[in-house]
Amino acid sequence: MKQLDLEEILIKLAKDDESSLEALFSYYYPRLYNFSKSFLKLEAGIDDILQEVFVKIWQKRKSIKSANTFNSYIFTITRNLLLNELRARLNNENLKEEVKKLSIGSEYSSIDQVEYSELEEKANQLINELPERQKEIFVLSRSEGLTHNEIADKLGITTKTVEYHMSLAIKYIKGNLKDYGVVSMLYFYLFF
């Protein structure tokens, strides 16, 4: 799909043309599926997540303005939904073990619940230490799965401001989890 075609499709989409959503689905579904599969490490549930992605695209169709940023927009929505799914799955003990085996080398697979709880507690502490606006933006992005544009609209600020606060928050949390080693980085990428 060329940039010009994407612009036309987005214009039609904004005018409630369902065939434009079908065109986006045909083009993006294989790419999003592969991205999702590499992200989740499991195939179960990917179809449901991708259906939700396109439902969100349809719901936001009138506010999608730029073909230049659409690719990152659709992948951001997908990533946020995948993170939500991964968090939900990790609350299931059986899936925690399965993901742990797939994600961590055998030398790290003996992490016990105490270490995990300490890491989770430290991460929550770091989030609570963030300045109020950074914390609010971080929680909206990571816990509620909102895109930077959605956060900007909700808070009445620019997308650049959201990006700025997110980068500071991530830098702070990631920097303060370094002492916990490789496991902390895995935790960071799975949950944030």
Q: What is the CATH number of the domain that holds 61?
A: 1.10.1740.10
Q: Which of 3-7, 142-146, 161-165 has the largest mean confidence? A: 161-165
* Number of domains making up the chain: 2
pLDDT one-digit tens code per residue, 70-88 = 888 888 888 888 877 777 7
- One domain, residues 111 and 82: no
pLDDT one-digit tens code per residue, 8-50 = 888 888 899 888 889 888 888 888 888 887 766 667 778 888 8
pLDDT one-digit tens code per residue, 103-151 = 554 444 444 455 656 777 777 888 899 999 999 998 888 766 778 888 9
pTM: 0.48
- One domain, residues 1 and 95: yes
- One domain, residues 15 and 38: yes
> Over 70: is that where the pLDDT of 102 sits?
no
Classified as helix, coil or strand, 58 is helix
CB-CB contact of 158 with 148 (8 Å): no
- One domain, residues 122 and 93: no
Compute the half-sphere exposure of residue 89: CA atoms within 13 Å on the CB side of its CA.
21
Of 103, 130, 162, which one is at a domain's C-terminal end? 103
CA–CA separation, 189 vs 79, rounded Å?
Answer: 11
- One domain, residues 95 and 171: no
- One domain, residues 58 and 148: no
**What 8-state DSSP symbol labels residue 61?**
T
Of 83, 103, 123, which one is at a domain's C-terminal end? 103
Label residue 71 left, alpha or beta by phi (over 0 means left) and psi (-120 to 50 means alpha): alpha
Of 103, 121, 145, which one is at a domain's C-terminal end? 103
- One domain, residues 97 and 112: no
- One domain, residues 76 and 133: no
- One domain, residues 146 and 162: yes
- One domain, residues 25 and 113: no
Classified as helix, coil or strand, 43 is coil
- Helix, strand, coil in percent for the chain, rounding step 5: 80, 0, 20
Task: Indicate the range of 55-69, 105-119, 134-148, 153-167 predicted with least confidence.
Answer: 105-119
> Looking at per-residue confidence, does 4 or 178 come out higher?
178
The amino acid occupying position 118 is E
DSSP secondary structure, 64-121, as one string: ---STTHHHHHHHHHHHHHHHHHHHHHTSHHHHHHHHHHHS-GGGTT--HHHHHHHHH
Residue 156: pLDDT band with limits 50, 70, 90: very high
Domain that residue 124 falls in: 106-192
- One domain, residues 58 and 142: no
- One domain, residues 163 and 77: no
CA dihedral 128→129→132→133, nearest 10 degrees, is -100
Q: Which of 54-58, 67-71, 120-124 has the largest mean confidence? A: 54-58
